[in-house]
Amino acid sequence: MSTTPAASAATPDNPAVVGLVGNPAPGSRTARVSAHVVESVRAALDLPADDTALIELADRAGDAAAQVAVTDSRVLVVATPAYKGSFTGLLKLFLDTLAGDGLRGTVVVPVVVAGSPVHATMTDLHLRWVLGELGGTLPVPSVVLTERQLAEHDDVAGAVGGWQDAHLAGVVAAVQAGASSRSTTRSANAPALAGTTSR
């Protein structure tokens, strides 16, 4: 992909499409896949190029602005590598800070990168369950890739192309159907993180 979301921090007008990356290492393959999916969703929704953000928790785990951007997004792309058959502890700690319905009204697209299909499947199941418990709308299957699949393609676009062809329209349909509507109290329900430390 030639263009990645330029905004790595939440802007005063929070972006509509946000990528949340739970890899402890910044600049990972997981982040690159997330960035590509974010850009694909943005383009499919015909949103401005600056209406996205990519949040890498390796850099911003305790950032209150990151939490607001996540809870106020219309589409949230949640990406993680598989770690011991589940998603990373870094991502779990961040999700634990959200209100019980913190993702209600948000269309969520999970992204999982794993060493094997078995680990990918287990991680995806765990992640989707938690995101659903937080109220997220998950209208399509996750983007699930193995390290081998990524290695077999020259770029991330090739690895993600099959998912885009089959499911990107479903994401757009969910947004257009009103799954991303916001209540006026949405931001007020998100607990502030300012002054806290990461667990």
pLDDT digits (tens, 9 = 90+) for 25-73: 999 999 999 999 999 999 999 999 999 999 999 988 678 899 999 999 9
pLDDT of residue 25: 94
Residue 1 within any structural domain of the chain: no
pLDDT of residue 187: 41
Burial tier of 82 (Cβ tally within 10 Å: 0-12, 13-18, 19+) = buried
Residue 47 within any structural domain of the chain: yes
Residue 4 within any structural domain of the chain: no
Tell me which residue range forms the domain holding 115: 17-182
Residue 2 within any structural domain of the chain: no
Counted domains in the chain = 1
Phi, psi dihedrals of residue 192, rounded to the nearest 5°? -75, 145
**Strand locations in the chain, DSSP E?**
17-21, 52-56, 75-81, 107-114, 143-146
The domain that contains 166 carries what CATH number? Answer: 3.40.50.360
- How far is 80 from 55, CA to CA, in rounded Å? 12
Residue 172 within any structural domain of the chain: yes
pLDDT of residue 13: 60
Is 10 within 8 Å of 56 (Cβ atoms)?
A: no
pLDDT of residue 95: 96
Q: Mark the ranges of the chain whose per-residue pLDDT is less than 70.
A: 1-13, 61, 178-199
